[in-house]
Structure 1
Amino acid sequence: MTGISIQGLHKSFGGRTVLDHVDLTVEDGEFVCLLGPSGCGKSTLLRSVAGLETPEGGSISFGDETVFDGATGINRAPEQRRLGMVFQSFALWPHKSVFDNVAYPLKRARVSRDEIQERVKEALTMVDLWAHRASYPGTLSGGQQQRVSLARAVVARPRLLLLDEPLSSLDTNLRAQMRREIRRIQQHLGATAVYVTHDKEDAGGLADRVLVLQDGKIVQEGAPKDVFVAPKTAFVAEFVGFDNFFNATVTEGSDSLATVEIGNGNRLSAATTGPVKAGQQVTAAIRSRLVRVHPYDGGIVPENSFVGTVSSKAHLGDDVEIVITDGAVDLVARVRPGYARDLNVGQPALAQPPVGTVVIVEGTRKGGQGKASAAPVTSEPAKATANH
């Protein structure tokens, strides 16, 4: 096994900084996901590790071996870095059989015929495709083709496994199946893996550690549950699924949990990653899928509740989107149909996010839209509602 050490890596395209002096260490046998939107630098970082892009400065080492150093001019060719890579496209030769596609890296390395037979059988058995060894890619399903691509990446027993959005062209069910397959193979091999994706389900289902990139910088890293539950910035929060953002005022503060006031006097408990104090202006983020909504009878408002009026209700596939307004801001909740049965447009209601699921975040939202705030409800949900 081999770890990766990256120091001060930087790269620009046409005057635009794509990697901004990135520092990163990946431990032996660790599975790391680089997560972020298009253009954040994640694929450029992976391609730099692979030797497919040449950074303008910094260094990359695999274990004790330096494969790139901008200061000394070291820049090992991709084939000298002894790694396996799975691309977004399957990149299979249509005129070669499954066996020959997988065997290609070994033939390039002039491995003996007997060893090629042994290793290809091992790799194809690992992905449950040995029975299809004589087939051609055009006769296989998308999932099978991606498994051939994965077998080709691991057949040479690389010290590192790099994966560049390999599941993006697969449907939802195949993605879930291939996630399990990739994780199983990585653990079986004990390989160090770096996986690029914009899909938080891929990251959460695969990674030991997630690194979120924004404008060529790593802005947050940690175990998936830590990044997804406790984002530090509005950019990270929005990217991992928080969709309610409010300008808020702290009424009671501490180092880990505060009370914030939003809209027309509604108060909610909010988790914070740093100390806040009463009177401080902050941004509070809430994930709509965690909010529960109940009819409000006008009695005492429970703690950690947002009271208002249902302004729209729309059925969106498996969920019902309910928008509650307090006259100053709107809060969006996405609930299962059973929880929305007793709620109608114009009815008073309580929205209750579980304690600890509202978070105080810093910075700007994705795409640099400025300070995070409660997004106004568009006219589309209202058009979709007809007093359900």
Structure 2
Amino acid sequence: MNNATVAAQRSVPFFRPSVGEAEKTAVLKVLEGGWLTTGKKTKEFEERFAASVGAKYAVALNSCTAALHLALEAIGLAPGDQVLVPNMTFAATAEVVRYFGAKPVLVDCEAETLCLDPQQAYSAARRAQASGPLKAILPMHYGGQMADMDAMHALGAEFGIPVIEDAAHTLPAYRRDAAGEWRPVGHGSSAACFSFYANKCITTGEGGMATTNDEALADRMRMMSLHGLSRSAWNRFESKGSWYYEIVAPGFKYNLTDVAGALGVAQLGRSEEFWQARRRIASLYREQLSEVAEIEVPAEREDCQSSWHLFSTRLHLDRLTIDRARFIEEMKEHGITCSVHWMPLHLHPYYRETYGFAPEEYPVANALWPRLVSLPIFPSMTDEEVEIVVSAVRTICAENRA
């Protein structure tokens, strides 16, 4: 039996969705019910989701990107405005700022958490205010461990700007505040934006949610999510509804369907199960890889409870004879799919060429980026699969030790 055959038999994907009978039954019921687009099931999902994160309002959308876009629209972001954005994040966090002709002001990350660095954010905010209007800050919770929200809210209060959380990775996630109280993601912020993409903590295939305690903000996001209509399609076409509607503003087509909403309700009911499974896998990884000198495993801060959406490790390249690309290739040869999260925004051609961002402006992200490797982690991952990954990491590190 050759190596390729062995790898195929022992393969571990980067992610495998956990979809069971509850999800299938919920979706089938919607399909048989005759109402497929935004309706009662989506509303139920919104209500249940809001309750799960302690928010007053939730607006279901077709992506987290849409949620971020609508949150910025609702606060009145305009051309020429500026928004503080983490440099170590996915493209969506910054691209939504560009939708308005506004400028993303990139902020370096903390070395420990890879979340937005509060001290760097303060410095960036002072520089930005000197050159034009500063309208918001968008902290992103890297991998599921929350950013320092006490610091983010203090910064928002000092500069008079709203805090909008990119919570794509965090369900559930908690951080202990200055008073010692455990606070869920979104607490105290103007809005929080969640993702239900296929590999997220819960999934609707594609989907997102915006949560807020501000009724006016929620109403604006809901209206703008469906063409700026004064009434939703569901209200217009149910038996007691009216055909009449008005266009209040030029909106977007961002609504979530009832098919996705039904999947979301079922998945939300299993969110605690999924969270505990991810925590257990992260604990196994940390325990079994902690003594491998060539790799650094992610830590969970004592004041945080991570969702463990990602298990992003860091290679000690000075202790290896191979680089990150070769490490990932050798993992693939062992049948294991890894990923990288992410190339910092300042290194992407668009942001580098548009704004002239230079590597030396973001020393932490710049130094960490070549070392990052995300290992597989998902709720249905078995102990055997964890052992396959751990064994491969140990073998590759031992064979390529400097």
Q: Name the TM-score class by shorter chain.
A: under 0.3
**TM-score, normalised to structure 2's length?**
0.24
Which has the greater radius of gyration?
Answer: 1
Question: More relative contact order in 1 or in 2 (CA 8 Å, sep 6+)?
Answer: 2
Q: Compare the two structures and name the one with the higher strand fraction.
A: 1
Q: TM-score, normalised by structure 1?
A: 0.25
Q: Which structure shows the bigger proportion of residues in helix conformation?
A: 2
